[in-house]
Structure 1
Amino acid sequence: MDIGVFLAALAMGTLELSEAGAVSAIYAGAYKSWIPYLYGALGVSVVLLPTFTLGKFIELLPIQYVLVVGAVILAYFGYRLIRSARRSFKGIRKHHEEKEGMGVVLVVAITEALEDALVALALIPQSYSSTLLGTGISAILVLGLTALLKNQIARIRLPHLKFVLSSLLFSLASLWILEVALDVTELVILPLFLLYLGVNYLIIKI
């Protein structure tokens, strides 16, 4: 076993997948249902299972196309989130709100798993088994932490979560487009995030 690869996979997996677990727990608490956990698990599985079964073949896909398609999807769900958050803050309810929320859980899970998968693909050539073990343990660890802390996590108000998540999704979408067009550093995500926080705040107040 390559300890360095194992620790890198474990740390990155725990970091990325914990957000998917947290979002699942918040939506599960808001809707009093366990279904968001299934959507979260599905989103993670859809990305990580092919990552470790196909491995090298995934690296052959043009990353530019993957980023552009991913950016469009993230921007779409970012729009839906801020629209939903605005309705919530203004006290307007829609009958399809729950279905929309489940889609958000799925997209967040896929996004976070994709971030983890990109790191895993870089680690696999060094040690497949260590990468697989580290990622697998991180998934189990996140499941345990989510189950242990779900009551505390569920106290986060859904409209505020949607507001922040929308800003994050817009930021990631913009970052991916900029990476394709200008090859910028990932550090620009911080000013982008702050920018979209401001824009979304104005949208909610309008």
Structure 2
Amino acid sequence: MDVAIFLAAMGISILEMTEASAIAVIFYGIYHTSKSYLYAVAGVATSLIPALIAGKFLVLIPLDYIAIVAAVILFYFSQKLFRSARRSIKGTRRKKEEKEEGLITVYTVSVVEGLEASLVVVGLMPFGYFSALSGVGVAVFAVIALTYAMKERVMKIRVPQLKLFLSALLATIGTFWLLEVGLGLSEIFTIPIFLFYILLTQVLVRI
């Protein structure tokens, strides 16, 4: 086994799948439905499994266009969550359609994150197919463990704050995807973007 290939495949898979997992966990904390995990798994599987089977054709997928469309979806649900958080704080009943729209968002994020992981893993496969595949396999179990750990902590947070956090997170991912497509921005910029949206949501929700 090529250790370098194994670690690279495992690292990128954990990084991308953890983002999808985090969205699913937070969504579960808000709406208490296990469907969020199923949609996250389905989203990652939609992109990752075909890529592992027919990896050389992955370069033909217009990832930039997918990211742009996905970003629009994330912005849409981000503002819906923000408005829902305000309703929760004011004691107004939330709308039923929020849950279904949220599941679509979980799936969308998971598909794109799976695609991003796939691009790297497929690139590693010619140098060590078994090592790359093993890295992905180990990453799956690692993400399951991380998901369980996140779930315990997330369930202790009040629902309105979870909604605001998820709203900021979705807006951050959407903004980053657009900037990544347009400017080739590094992922390190997600930190200041996220902090900006966190502060913005906390200010606006009180208006």
Name the TM-score class by shorter chain: 0.7 to 0.9
Give the structure 2 partner of residue 9 of structure 1. Answer: 9
Cα distance in structure 2, aligned partners of 1:125 and 1:6:
13
2:118 corresponds to 1:132: no
Give the structure 1 partner of residue 156 of structure 2. Answer: 155
Q: How does 1:57-68 map to 2 (within 5 A)?
A: 57-68=57-68
Q: How does 1:1-206 map to 2 (within 5 A)?
A: 1-28=1-28, 30-96=30-96, 97-147=98-148, 150-206=151-207
Output the TM-score relative to the length of structure 1.
0.81
Instruction: Tell me if the contact between 2:39 and 2:107 (Cα under 8 Å) persists in the aligned partners.
Output: yes
Note the C-alpha offset of 1:204: 1.4
Please list the CA deviations of residues 8-49 of structure 1 after superposition, one character each: whole Å capped at 9, or x if unmatched.
Answer: 222232233234334434444554443222222112211211
More displaced stretch, 181-190 vs 71-80: 181-190
More displaced stretch, 25-34 vs 137-146: 25-34
Output the TM-score relative to the length of structure 2.
0.80
Instruction: Tell me if the contact between 1:82 and 1:166 (Cα under 8 Å) persists in the aligned partners.
Output: yes
Instruction: Tell me if the contact between 1:27 and 1:158 (Cα under 8 Å) persists in the aligned partners.
Output: no
Structure 2: runs of 5 or more not aligned? none
Instruction: Tell me if the contact between 1:26 and 1:155 (Cα under 8 Å) persists in the aligned partners.
Output: no
Structure 1: runs of 5 or more not aligned? none
Identity %: 41
Cα distance in structure 2, aligned partners of 1:61 and 1:152:
37
Cα distance in structure 1, aligned partners of 2:42 and 2:128:
26
C-alpha RMSD over aligned residues: 2.7
Q: Paired residues, what number?
A: 206
Instruction: Tell me if the contact between 2:70 and 2:109 (Cα under 8 Å) persists in the aligned partners.
Output: no
